[in-house]
Amino acid sequence: MKKEWQLYETNEEEIQKISKKYNVNKLIALVISNRKIKEKDIPIFLSPTRNDFHNPFLMPDMEKAVDRILKAIKNKEKVIIYGDYDVDGITSTTVLKRFLEDHKLLENVGVYIPNRLEEGYGLNKDAIEKISNEKYNLMITVDCGITGVEEIEYAKKLGIETIVTDHHEVGEILPDAIAVVDCKRKDNQYPCRDLAGVGVAFKLIQALSIKLELKDDEYLKYLDIVCIGTISDIVPLVDENRVITKLGLMLVRQTKNMGLKSLLISSGFKKIDSTTISFGIAPKINACGRMGHAFDALNLFLSNDIYEVNELTKKLNEYNSIRQEKERKIYQEAIEQIESKKLYEKNVIVVGGKNWHHGVIGIVSSKITDFYFKPSILLCYEKETAKGSGRSIPGFDLHDALMQCSDTIEKFGGHSMAIGITLNKENVSKFADELENIAEKEEVSKITPIIKIDGKLSLSEINREVVESINLLEPFGEGNRMPIFLFKNLKIDSIRSLSNGKHIKMTLKENNDIIDAIGFNMENLSNELKIGDKIDVVGTLEINTFNGVDTIQINIQDTMKSL
C-alpha cells in the first residue's frame, strides 16, 4: 500500500536554542520543536515533578464529591465502587479501593464490575438493584456513569446516592448525581481535558488527601497503577497525562504491588517502558474482561497473598492465550471472506460470522483496518441479531456515518475511530450498502496513510548515545509517537526472511557505515528487493538485544526505491 511521507518543516534557529538551553542533543531538540511544545512546557515535558500536577479542585464537582465521601467516612456508610472491565476501569477501581482501605478511611469497600459478555458496558438497572439489596448508601462510578442518566435516577429511587467520575464524552443531559466529575463537561475549567478514567480517580484521591491533610506520598504511591491504566487507555500522553506516566513508570520499575510485579515478570520484557505496558501488560488485563473474568484482574492488583497472586497471574496468561487463539481464528475467517468476496474493493469492509467472540472482534476489526487501511465492522451473528465492533481510519468519522444509517441500526455507540453496534441480522446487507454509499460520497478511497517524519539522518550521525537519548522522550503513545526518521539512498548489503517469511531482516550500507534493519509483517519486500538495491527507508531507531549482544537497528515503517 502506497503511503505518503511528510517531513516536518524544521526551524533550525529554534532547534539550536532548545538544544543549548535545555542541554539536549540536536535530535531531541528537533523532535521537541516538531511536537510544537511551548517553551514554558519543555522542562515539564523532559523532567516532570510531583509539583506539576494541576489543582484537583479545578475539576467540575470535585469539591462536592470529596465532601460527600468525607460524610460517608464520618458516618461509616456502606460504599461501593462501580467500575469497568477494561484496563482503565480495573486500575481506576484498584486505586480508589486501595486508597480508601489502605488509609482505613472505609472498611470493606464494595466493588461492582459488569460482565462484558452478559451485561455490557456501563451502569445497568439489574446491577443497581443488586447493589440496593446489599444495602449500599453511596455508589462511586469510575471510568463510566456519564451516560447513565436513567440508571442513576433508578438508583436514587432505591435510596442510593451516586458520585460519577468519568472521562467519556458528555451527553445532552448530565446524570442527576451528587457530583459529576468529568473534564468533558461543557462548564469544565480543568486544564487537562484528556485524562483517562484512572486519571480522574487519581485526582479524586489527591483531592481527598488534600482535604485530609495527608502527605503527598499517600496518593502519589498509587502512580504505578495509574500509569498502567493511562498508557493502556490510549489517551494523549501530553500535559498531566505525561506527568502521570513519566513519574508512574519510575514507580512501575520498583513497584510494591505484588500483582503488577508478578505480571511484569511473566511478561518477559527486560526493559520496563511504555511498550512493555502496551504489549506485555495491557493485553493480559484486557483479556480477563474480554473473556468475562474481570474480577480476576482486579483481585490480582488487590491481593497481598503471594500464592493467590501466582495463581491469578497464571489465570491471566491462560485467558490471554485463549483470547489470542480466538482472535487468530476470527481473523483468518474474516480474511477468507474479504478475499473470496473481494470486499477489499469496497470503501468500508463489513463482515460477520457465527460464534465470533464479542470480546475479541474489536481487536480483529482493528487488525483488518490496519491491514487494508479501510474502515471495518465485524459482526457476530446470534439467531436474529448481529452485534459487532468497528474501527476507522483518520479522515473518516465512523460514528457520524452510523448516525446516517439509523434506519437499519438498533443501537450503537462510540466515537469517530471506534464503535459498537447492534442490528437485526436481516438488515446487515442494507446497512452495509448504506454505509458504503456514505463512504463513497466522502471519498474514503482517496484517503492515503501518512507517515510524519521528524527528520532526515545519515548513518554517520547515529551512535549508541544518540539512540539511547531518545529515551528522554518516553513514554511514547498517543500524542507523543516514537520519532520517525528518513534515511536516503541506502544500499542493501544483505536481506533475508524471518518467521516463515512473515518479517524481513536487512543490513543497509551508506559509504562505510552499516546498520541492521527489521521490517515486521513486510513479507512482500523479500520479493521486491535484492542485494545491491538502493532504497529510502523511514523508521524508528532502537537498540536490539539478541544473545546478550546489543546492536542499533532501524525498525522499518516503510521503504521505496531510491531515485
**DSSP of 253-300, one letter per residue?**
TT---HHHHHHHHHH--SS-SHHIIIIIIHHHHHHHHHTT-HHHHHHH
Name the domain boundary from 315, 330, 365. 315
**Does the pLDDT at position 555 exceed 90?**
yes
Q: What is the pTM of this model?
A: 0.90
Residue 530 in any domain: the answer is yes
Does residue 549 form part of some domain?
yes
Out of 428, 446, 464, a domain closes at 446
526: in domain: yes
Query: Radius of gyration of the chain from Cα atoms?
Result: 25
Q: How far is CA 23 from the centre of its chain?
A: 32
Q: Both 121 and 66 in a single domain?
A: yes
Do residues 170 and 292 share a domain?
A: yes
Helix axes 306-340, 294-302, angle to 10 degrees: 150
Please tell me whether residues 295 and 418 are part of one structural domain. Answer: no
One domain, residues 291 and 146: yes
- Judge if 513 and 539 occupy the same domain: yes
The CATH number linked to 430 is 3.10.310.30
Residue 34 CA to residue 402 CA, distance in Å, equals 35
CATH of the domain at 553: 2.40.50.460
**Is 106 within a domain?**
yes
Last residue of a domain, one of 315, 332, 366: 315
**Residues 288 and 150 both lie in one domain:** yes
Query: pLDDT tens-digit profile of 438-468?
Result: 999 999 999 999 999 999 999 999 999 999 9
The predicted-structure confidence for 218-267, as pLDDT tens digits, reads as follows: 999 999 999 999 999 888 999 999 999 999 999 999 999 999 999 999 99
| Structure-block grid coordinates of residue 327 | 482472535
Q: Are residues 101 and 211 in the same domain?
A: yes
Q: What is the mean pLDDT of residues 197-220?
A: 97
CA distance 560 to 48: 39
Q: Is 377 in contact with 421 (CB distance < 8 Å)?
A: yes
Per-residue pLDDT tens over the stretch 34-50: 999 999 999 999 999 99
CB–CB of 471/454 below 8 Å? no
What lies within 8 Å, CB to CB, of 521 at 6+ separation is 502, 503
Q: Are residues 365 and 486 in the same domain?
A: no
pLDDT, position 140: 98
User: Would you state the cell numbers that stand for residue 333, as one nine-digit string?
Assistant: 475467517
d(CA 464, CA 454): 19
Give Cα 247 to chain centroid, integer Å: 18
Q: What is the predicted pLDDT for the residue at 147? A: 87
In a shared domain, residues 485 and 389:
no
Q: What per-residue confidence (pLDDT) applies to 491?
A: 96
At 270 the pLDDT is 84
Containing structural domain, residue 392: 341-446
Confirm whether 33 is domain-assigned: no
- Structural domain count, the chain: 3
18 domain residue, yes or no: no
- Please indicate, yes or no, whether residues 370 and 233 belong to a single structural domain of this protein: no
Residue pair 53/242 in contact by the 8 Å Cβ criterion: no
DSSP 131: H
How many residues are listed for the chain in this entry? 563
Q: How far is residue 128's CA from residue 108's CA, in Å, rounded to a whole number?
A: 18
Residue 501: predicted pLDDT? 78
**Of 502, 427, 388, 466, which Cα lies nearest the Cα of 19?**
466
162/303 same-domain check = yes
Q: Are residues 441 and 469 in the same domain?
A: no
Instruction: Report if residue 472 sits inside a domain.
Output: yes
Q: Indicate the range of 327-331, 358-362, 491-495 predicted with least confidence.
A: 358-362
- Average pLDDT value over all residues in the chain: 93
Q: How many CA atoms lie within 13 A of 353 on its CB side?
A: 21
* Residues 144/82, Cβ–Cβ less than 8 Å: yes
Indicate the pLDDT class of residue 418, thresholds 50, 70 and 90: confident
Over 90: is that where the pLDDT of 193 sits?
yes
Q: What is the percentage of the chain residues whose pLDDT exceeds 70?
A: 100
Which is it for the CA torsion 135, 138, 141, 147, positive or negative? Answer: positive
